[in-house]
Amino acid sequence: MTQSIYLNGSTISRMLRSKCTIGALLALSTLLFLILPLTSANATQTPTISNVFLTFHGSKPSPLPQPPAGKTTDLNMPSGAQLYIYGYATGGAFPSWGFKNGQYASATNQAGNLAASLAVTADYTNSFQTVTGMQNTGGASISDYSSYTSSYRSNSAYGAPQVSDTFTVQSSGNLVVVFALGGLQECMTLTGIPGLRTDAPTPQSVGGTNATHPGIIIAHAYLDTGFYTITENTRCSQSIANNNTPDWQADLIAVFVFSSANT
């Protein structure tokens, strides 16, 4: 007898004789195993953060009679990632400008100068211009994600003691990346997120035990579903008077939530 079997719109004809039915069925089962797609659920890739860097340029600030010569700072990371996040913070005494590629957020101090800036881009190179005497630059690359959300908050008040951002994680195991920047701050810490791992911490002083400095912290965590608030603290002492130049200070924090990618 002749039996027709339909697979994905194609007809496979087999002559199955009663005396060899078992052999024919075995052959057919082997064929099905080879050509039918697997029906198991798709696997997922966990988003990753890599190539984290933090570089300080300059020294402890002091009042200057005139701005230093302007310059362009170039930043480079290895190619091949899906996304690149760049940040820089300055001493805040003189003007600076946003990133060439992917400018995302910034904080301006009470002196009217840009004190911190962030960029998000697919470019593995970036640059910015500044006439300040010192800057902290940092960055990280992100891979293996399907989509992401981002949010940021800034504080440009006199002395800027802290800034907080509230965000949502919609799927368990999402990668949360935090960039915290402080223009000419006394110290920097992050609070509010369980299991937060610091990838690139700013030294607590530059040029002396109690020196103020432009700071950056890059950190990440894999979080469960829920609402979270993270706080960037940039005040070690209790009084603004203990800070050298509060009108040069400003805070900026940004949170990026990356969802897993199907493979």
Same domain? 93 vs 158: yes
Same domain? 70 vs 18: no
Ranges 34-48, 153-167, 177-191: which has the least confidence: 34-48
**What torsion do the CA atoms of 155, 159, 161, 163 make, to the nearest 10 degrees?**
0
Same domain? 81 vs 22: no
Cα separation of 249 and 256, whole Å? 24
Domains identified in the chain, total number: 2
Same domain? 18 vs 123: no
Would you list the DSSP string of 124-181?
Answer: SEEEEEE--S-EEEEEEEEESEEEEEEEEEEE-STT--EEEEEEEE-STTEEEEEEEE
pLDDT-derived band at 207, boundaries 50, 70, 90: very low
Q: What pLDDT shows up at residue 121?
A: 98
Of the candidates 12, 16, 44, the residue with the CA atom closest to the CA atom of residue 31: 12
Burial of residue 4 (number of CB atoms within 10 Å: 0-12, 13-18, 19+): exposed
Q: pLDDT digit string (tens) for 137-176? A: 999 999 999 999 999 999 999 888 899 999 999 999 999 9
Q: Which residues form the domain of 21?
A: 2-35
pLDDT-derived band at 184, boundaries 50, 70, 90: confident
Same domain? 27 vs 96: no
pLDDT-derived band at 3, boundaries 50, 70, 90: very low
Q: pLDDT digit string (tens) for 245-263? A: 888 899 999 999 999 987 5
Same domain? 31 vs 50: no
Same domain? 9 vs 48: no
Q: pLDDT digit string (tens) for 211-244? A: 456 789 999 999 999 999 999 998 766 544 445 6
Which secondary structure element, helix H or strand E, spans residue 27, and what is its range? helix 21-35
Same domain? 28 vs 151: no
Averaged pLDDT score across all residues of the chain: 80
Same domain? 195 vs 230: yes
Cα separation of 56 and 239, whole Å? 27
Same domain? 95 vs 152: yes
Same domain? 94 vs 161: yes
Same domain? 30 vs 10: yes
